[in-house]
Amino acid sequence: MTLNGWLQILVFIGIVVAVAKPVGIFMTHIFNGERTFMHFVLRPVERLIYRLTGVDEKREMRWTEYAAAMLLFSVVSLLLLYILQRVQGHLPLNPQHLPGVDSAGSATSGFVGSAFNTAASFTTNTNWQSYVPETTMSYLTQMAGLAYHNFASAATGIVLAIAFIRGIARRETDTIGNFWVDFVRCNLYVLLPICVLGALLLVSQGVIQNFRPYDTAKLLEPQTIQVDKKDANGNVLTNPDGTNQQEAQTVTDQTIAQGPVASQEFIKELGTNGGGFFNANSAHPFENPTPFTNLIEMLLIFTIGAGLTYTLGRMTGSQKHGWAVLAAMVVVFFAGVVTLYWYEGHGNPMLSKLGADQSVTALQPGGNMEGKEVRFGIANSSLFATVTTDASCGAVSSMHDSFTPLGGLVPLANIALGEIIFGGAGSGLYGILIFCVLSVFIAGLMVGRTPEYLGKKIESYDVKMAMLYVLIFPLVILVFAAISVMAPSFGTSQLNNAGPHGLSEILYAFVSGAGNNGSAFAGISANTYWFNTTIGITMLMGRFLMIVPMLAVAGNLARKKMVPPSLGTFPVTTPLFTVLLVSVILIVGALTFFPALSLGPIVEHLLMYAGKTF
């Protein structure tokens, strides 16, 4: 760990807190339908979209219609993405002539394979990737399918958060806004303009943006490697002792994958999507070439989550509550990044024993460098991993699977806490608001008064729905993970690592799916029927089954009268509230996942120091 590393972390979080207010004010204007400097250009486009799609922008919706519109849109756009993947072989912008996803002959051919998983993944803002992008997706699918959903799913999350805020802010009404209007405004004013400028900024740093076929470079020094020897039919030949016969092969070329990356990269981070244009995601030099792009990408992941806390304060008329929520986020963020940086910085004791020098010197960052890029080193890799899992982003600039056990525990635990620390675009805010409801409920129990939240009485219906939200999450994770762990043929056989690390790989996959994160302990070979289907279902449940009770709370709160604060009201604007909120988040998370986490990363940590390998 270095002073410069801490400086980078502090600068990062400083900028996040500084942008919360301007971003929050801007979003308040947009979702209140007020004019901004952009309306001059974009308002005609907005009206055109309403005309083309038959939307009446004056019409308000009850929570049930709002939910129905959101679900209908999600189903339709999911189907379109599914179809686009399957037929991409017949469509333009496919210079590599890649066939349709899951076409006959591929390992996951059929209706419920990789294409279903990917469609569910990108619609739910998860961006779990069981496919290898470079060899699977055409440029058209990446742009009009995957990057499109980076906008659509992020906008859906954001407008749901706005609907929840309206539920708190409004009184004695049964409507919480119009889904279509919110959705269009979010895309048009909040996401799109900054993406155009930002994508160009990324290109100026070296993120690529083209439609070239993949280039072939002549290696400066051709390499000779040993490969399995095959007969004329492509079968591997074996020696009498059963090992594969080897033969020398000279590699003279390097394939360089290309594509329209920057336009996807920017919305991928801003919308907390995280699906990489390339397999290596934000570790790939074409996605994240410099430390500056790395800083931009990390900032983008937190921007909307931070801004929404200010919007919350603004729209509910309690700015201090917005800051109290932001403070809770900052506290848990720091706990994560300090732990992760500490353990990655100290490295792996077994590597030191083998003679690798992990110490920090002026010439090297030291620490556990397996799966990390030199340009980012330990500090930036630790920071990125914390940020991407606090939020439901899932982009990675280093491979979480190769982290030290307790370093890897942090991303896993961050997602397991529900990704409400800044959180996914929108989903982070409505997630933490559910925890706010629970916190005032618990405080109410302690002082024996009916709990109130920003002037609304919290009653049994609200608490039941909030608990439903909290319980669905571990339910889907633990059931599928338990089945996978007990199934050698289709579960544990797909692991890249044995022992407790294998358990972590499976657990991470389902936690990441249900949490709509999308990052992975990527050693797991998840492109199988079992994992594609179960993780696909996990993602859909983790998104939509949690949204419905959340919107039910919003609709119910909107109907209520405002009660003026009294002496018995637990204030939600104080540091005490921040402490209570953090405690509730940690207690709920720990009670749910501690047993599983102790069998994975915690046991592995002890075994690593005992020098045990698998």
Give the sign of the dihedral formed by CA 359, CA 508, CA 151, CA 544: negative
Q: Does 286 bind other proteins (CB under 8 A)?
A: yes
Site residues (CB under 8 A) for other proteins, limited to 59-78: 65, 68-69, 72-73, 75-77
- The number of beta carbons lying within 10 Å of the beta carbon of residue 95 is 14
| Rounded least distance, CB 297 to other proteins, Å | 12
Site residues (CB under 8 A) for other proteins, limited to 408-427: 408
Q: Does 402 bind other proteins (CB under 8 A)?
A: yes
Contact 424, 125 (CB under 8 A): yes
- The number of beta carbons lying within 10 Å of the beta carbon of residue 141 is 27
Q: Does 94 bind other proteins (CB under 8 A)?
A: no
Residue type, 72: L
Only one of the segments 364-372, 466-474, 550-558, 559-567 lies at the binding site for other proteins (rule: CB under 8 A); that segment is 364-372
Q: And the tokens for 40?
A: 């001059």
Which is closer to other proteins, CB of 292 or CB of 334? 292
Which is closer to other proteins, CB of 8 or CB of 532? 8
| Rounded least distance, CB 551 to other proteins, Å | 15
Q: And the tokens for 422?
A: 């800044």
Site residues (CB under 8 A) for other proteins, limited to 439-478: none
Among 17, 351, 467, 468, binds other proteins (CB under 8 A): 351
Among 8, 88, 127, 392, binds other proteins (CB under 8 A): 8
Nearest CA-CA partner of 337 in 603, 590, 53, 13: 13
Q: What does the alpha-carbon distance between residue 275 and residue 208 come to, in Å, rounded to a whole number?
A: 16
Site residues (CB under 8 A) for other proteins, limited to 114-173: 132, 134-135, 143-145, 147-148, 151-152
Among 18, 35, 215, 447, binds other proteins (CB under 8 A): 215
How far is C-alpha 475 from the geometric centre of its chain's CA atoms?
20
| Rounded least distance, CB 465 to other proteins, Å | 23
Q: And the tokens for 538?
A: 């996990």
- The number of beta carbons lying within 10 Å of the beta carbon of residue 299 is 18
- What is the residue whose two structure tokens read 């801004």? 307
Please give the size of the binding site for other proteins, defined by CB under 8 A: 140
The residues facing 548 across adjacent strands are none
Among 156, 294, 309, 527, binds other proteins (CB under 8 A): 294
Among 91, 98, 338, 356, binds other proteins (CB under 8 A): 356
**Helix 405-416 × helix 319-346 angle, to 10°:** 160
Q: And the tokens for 10?
A: 């502090």
| Rounded least distance, CB 531 to other proteins, Å | 15
- State the distance between the two ends of the chain, measured CA to CA, in whole angstroms: 28
Q: Does 175 bind other proteins (CB under 8 A)?
A: no
Among 1, 20, 23, 262, binds other proteins (CB under 8 A): 262
- What is the residue whose two structure tokens read 């129905």? 68
Q: What does the alpha-carbon distance between residue 558 and residue 172 come to, in Å, rounded to a whole number?
A: 6
Site residues (CB under 8 A) for other proteins, limited to 547-576: none
Q: Is 442 exposed, middle or buried (0-12, 13-18, 19+ CB in 10 A)?
A: middle
Q: Does 358 bind other proteins (CB under 8 A)?
A: yes
Q: What does the alpha-carbon distance between residue 386 and residue 407 come to, in Å, rounded to a whole number?
A: 10
| Rounded least distance, CB 287 to other proteins, Å | 9
Among 41, 104, 232, 363, binds other proteins (CB under 8 A): 363
Q: Does 43 bind other proteins (CB under 8 A)?
A: no
| Rounded least distance, CB 325 to other proteins, Å | 29
Q: Does 42 bind other proteins (CB under 8 A)?
A: no
Q: Does 347 bind other proteins (CB under 8 A)?
A: yes
